[in-house]
């Protein structure tokens, strides 16, 4: 699988060989922007055949807002920590290609949101207020 958020590096999972039902069980983390509720996680699933090149099996686009839930107890609009979501997503064809017959399958993903505050590395940095820049963990199951 390949995973990415807009304007961030693509992250990949380990290749699962000789299976039609791969299980990754990997943790992949993304640093979210200031407005994470507007972000989308893009996941592409690829297959590997013995002789030919990698084959596209499908993709999903997941709004990060699915994982985030506003914590109404805080005035600074932080999101609830340790919120876990596990869902099935239908694989879609490549963007612009509406031939669903070429894509068949579902992807089960688990997500966890965790807020990681900024910690100044030097005494000079202590004057900078910590930003509300969270990290999200994407866990494959």
Going by C-beta distance under 8 Å and a sequence separation of 6 or more, which residues neighbour residue 49? 55
Contacts 24+ apart (CB under 8 A), 99-103: 103/57, 103/58
How high does pLDDT run on average in the chain?
Answer: 74
Residue 31's nearest CA partner among 20, 43, 23, 39 is 39
| Residue 30 maps to a domain | yes
Per-residue pLDDT at 129: 47
The radius of gyration of the chain from alpha carbons, rounded to an integer in Å, stands at 18
The residue ranking higher by pLDDT, 46 or 97, is: 46
Strands (E), 13-132: 27-31, 40-47, 55-63, 83-90, 106-114
CA pair distance 44, 54, nearest whole angstrom: 12
| Residue 62 maps to a domain | yes
The residue ranking higher by pLDDT, 3 or 51, is: 3
CA pair distance 15, 31, nearest whole angstrom: 24
| Residue 20 maps to a domain | no
Per-residue pLDDT at 22: 82
pLDDT at 72 over 50: yes
pTM: 0.70
Query: By mean pLDDT, which of 2-6, 73-77, 102-106, 116-120 is the weakest?
Result: 73-77
| Residue 86 maps to a domain | yes
Query: Could you give the number of structural domains in the chain?
Result: 1
Contact 68, 82 (CB under 8 A): no
- Per-residue pLDDT band at 4 (split at 50, 70, 90): very high
- Per-residue pLDDT band at 88 (split at 50, 70, 90): very high
For the segment 86-98, the average pLDDT, to the nearest whole number, is 84
- Per-residue pLDDT band at 80 (split at 50, 70, 90): low
| Residue 109 maps to a domain | yes
Range of the domain at 56: 2-15+25-140
């Amino acid at each position: 699988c390949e995973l990415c958020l807009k304007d961030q590096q693509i992250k990949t999972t380990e290749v699962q060989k000789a299976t039609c039902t791969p299980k990754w069980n990997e943790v992949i983390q993304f640093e979210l922007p200031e407005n994470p509720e507007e972000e989308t996680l893009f996941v592409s699933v690829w297959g590997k055949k013995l002789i030919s090149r990698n084959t596209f099996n499908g993709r999903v686009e997941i709004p990060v807002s699915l994982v985030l839930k506003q914590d109404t107890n805080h005035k600074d609009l932080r999101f609830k920590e340790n919120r876990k979501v596990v869902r099935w997503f239908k694989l879609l064809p490549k963007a612009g290609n509406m031939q669903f017959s070429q894509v068949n399958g579902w992807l089960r993903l688990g997500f966890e949101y965790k807020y990681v505050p900024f910690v100044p590395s030097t005494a000079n940095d202590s004057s900078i207020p910590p930003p509300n820049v969270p990290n999200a963990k994407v866990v494959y199951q």
